[in-house]
Amino acid sequence: NAGVTQTPKFQVLKTGQSMTLQCAQDMNHEYMSWYRQDPGMGLRLIHYSVGAGITDQGEVPNGYNVSRSTTEDFPLRLLSAAPSQTSVYFCASSRTGEAYGYTFGSGTRLTVV
Amino acid sequence: EDQVTQSPEALRLQEGESSSLNCSYTVSGLRGLFWYRQDPGKGPEFLFTLYSAGEEKEKERLKATLTKKESFLHITAPKPEDSATYLCAVQARGSRLTFGEGTQLTVNP
């Protein structure tokens, strides 16, 4: 059972470039989300999805897009990378309907130069 | 707006020296409070969910408790392998979690 798989693990981008961070889960979880983690700021929610075809914004959505065409996959797109998007990105999934704990991926460390 | 504050930011203990981490929260309609452990370079790992005031959960040397305003993570006779960052999060609506900034625990041998 792979859980939540994130790729790539590391990425360096130049300012203005675009890229997609991949996230896949094999637990048939309805809920998926993207967080960024920065020193002194904790985990902040970027976007989330409660099921295929449904997405919504979190607290820091600007500069990011998401889509959810299948239950398993929830990619995060950076449209035009900026140095302020340098961070560690985590994808997480859970069942819905009750207060279930999230399962997190191992993260993507992104540096924008 | 849901808020979670963890203290202290960092804690150094000697092996065997018991202590507690604090998580204070402000939320409208708590559905669940979560504790996670995060090791360097890894994603958070789920530890506990607490649902109502007075509830307690235990796992090895860790014990989590919950009141109406805060949660404590008690660490009894810690070992160096307990060194990690411990994160607290609350869930009020839907499945969204609001996280605190974490407490970085170091246990020296």
Tokens representing B15?
């092996």
Cβ atoms of residues B63 and B84 within 8 Å: no
Question: Which residues of chain B neighbour A40 with C-beta distances below 8 Å?
Answer: 101
> B85: nearest CA in chain A?
A42
- Spatial separation of the C-alpha atoms in residues B40 and B31, rounded to whole Å: 29
**β-pairing verdict for A103-104 and A76-78:** unpaired
* B87/A94 touch (CB, cutoff 8 Å), yes or no: no
pLDDT of residue A1: 63
- B92: pLDDT strictly greater than 70: yes
The low-confidence residues of chain A, meaning pLDDT below 50, are: none
A80 CA to chain B: closest CA distance, Å?
26
> Which region among A18-27, A91-100, B59-68, B81-90 has the lowest average model confidence (pLDDT)?
A91-100
Query: Which residue among A44, A94, A105 sits closest to B95, beta carbon to beta carbon?
Result: A94
